[in-house]
Amino acid sequence: MIFSTLDDLRAACRDLPAGDEAAAAAALARQAVLTKPPGSLGRLEDLAVWLARWQGRAIPRLDQVSIAVFAGNHGIAARGVSAFPIEVTAQMVANYAAGGAAINRLAETAGATLTVVPLDLDRPTADFTKAPAMDEGEFLAAVSAGYAAVAPDLDLFAVGEMGIGNTTAAAALCAALLGGGAARWVGRGSGVDDHGLSRKRDAVEAGLARHGAKVADPLAIAAALGGRELAAMMGATLAARRHRIPMLLDGYIASAAVLPLARMASDALAHCRAAHCSGEPGHKALLPALGLVPLLDIGMRLGEGTGAAVAMLLARAALSCHAGMATFSEAGVAEKTC
Ligand SMILES: Cc1cc2ncn([C@H]3O[C@H](COP(=O)(O)O)[C@@H](O)[C@H]3O)c2cc1C
Ligand SMILES: O=C(O)c1cccnc1
């Protein structure tokens, strides 16, 4: 879908399709008769039922699993908010093509296809302390690119990102939409020192001072403080919801990217599970605001969709039990008596 106007995008956020409650109920009923004490597989049981609900299959499948990584460059990076130079974004895109990045290895391990979408890397967004990061046309083009990257028939999907400076954009979005000031949302990202950290806080405060008045309009805030890869992740998440594809959210940046979407429609993330809680401290505060409980908390703080790829292994474990275990009657095992 191509969004030509903000109103087109707003319209796509309305009347979102619900999950398939009959498939979810059938999956839940199956979980109750598999040869284990009820609930003993913990969140693996929830994962199986969630896959069933959004795939519309009592016994879901994980044949078409996909990760889309969006890459964008940020004008704010010129303010010394990252430990790495802006050239690293394009260099990492080349690394993805060569197969040498963490996400290449983890996507392969998870049995997921990897698509990388670079978004105008030679045209960084504007420095948000001086102007909106993107004008309306740039923002809508990025959201549309994200939407278009999602095939409608996937069994499981995740987004990831690459963009030097994007933890600053993520922190600014969170601070604008959730409050609490820069200190609550700014962390070290890819590893800035104390001076970098204070430049990062200053940048976020300056962005809030310049654009904070737009806070009533989540899309205006996303355009003013976000980035192309964040806008694309939002578009892809909306597409997954409209196609009823279950989706795993990656780390801090992916989660911040969908915050404006959650503001547009309170149940917009119903098809999502949070793959993990990032080591970036703002993520711990952001996930409850999105109504999400992370599956993993193992100190990952890379982005690229890597946390989501690891959580896909949990989804595969959940499905293996759900589809392959014997029931009490099949195995001749006596059921619970009290
Ligand atoms: C080599 C390298 C690979 C990465 N892969 C993901 N990120 C992560 O770090 C960046 C955000 O951190 P900051 O806001 O501090 O720039 C993003 O590109 C994110 O995906 C990387 C960063 C680097 C340096
Ligand atoms: O949580 C993330 O996604 C993250 C954290 C730090 C740096 N890059 C990504």
CATH code of the domain covering residue 87: 3.40.50.10210
Do residues 249 and 295 lie in contact, with contact meaning Cβ atoms separated by under 8 Å? no
Q: What is the mean pLDDT of residues 90-102?
A: 99
Q: What is the mean pLDDT of residues 219-225?
A: 98
- Does 17 map to a domain? no
- Does 181 map to a domain? yes
Cα separation, 170 vs 320, in Å, equals 35
| pLDDT number for residue 1 | 86
For residue range 109-132, list pLDDT tens digits in order. Answer: 999 999 999 999 999 999 999 999
- Provide the domain count of the chain: 1
Question: What DSSP character marks residue 190?
Answer: T
- Does 33 map to a domain? no
Do residues 266 and 178 lie in contact, with contact meaning Cβ atoms separated by under 8 Å? no
Sign of torsion, CA 192 103 152 47? negative
- Does 137 map to a domain? yes
H and E: helices and strands count for the chain: 15, 5
Pocket lined around ligand 1, Cβ cut-off 6 Å: 82-84, 88, 92, 161-168, 189-190, 302-304
Q: What is the mean pLDDT of residues 91-117?
A: 99
Spatial CB neighbours of 196, under 8 Å, sequence gap ≥ 6? 80, 81, 82, 83, 188
- Does 44 map to a domain? no
Q: Is the pLDDT of residue 197 over 90?
A: yes
- Does 142 map to a domain? yes
CA distances from 328 to 30, 224, 334 (A): 10, 57, 7
Query: Helices 218-225 and 166-178 sit at what angle, rounded to 10 degrees?
Result: 150
- Does 270 map to a domain? yes
pTM: 0.99
- Does 130 map to a domain? yes
Average pLDDT of the residues of the chain: 98
Cα separation, 203 vs 129, in Å, equals 6
Longest distance between any two alpha carbons in the chain, whole Å = 70
* CA-303 nearest atom, ligand 1: 20
Do residues 300 and 251 lie in contact, with contact meaning Cβ atoms separated by under 8 Å? yes
pLDDT confidence band for 300 (50 / 70 / 90): very high
Q: Give the residue numbers annotated as catalytic, written as ranges.
A: 304
For residue range 17-68, list pLDDT tens digits in order. Answer: 999 999 999 999 999 999 999 999 999 999 999 999 999 999 999 999 999 9
CA of 303 to the centre of ligand 1 (A): 7
| pLDDT number for residue 237 | 98
Q: What is the mean pLDDT of residues 256-269?
A: 98
- Look up the domain containing 139 and give its range: 62-316
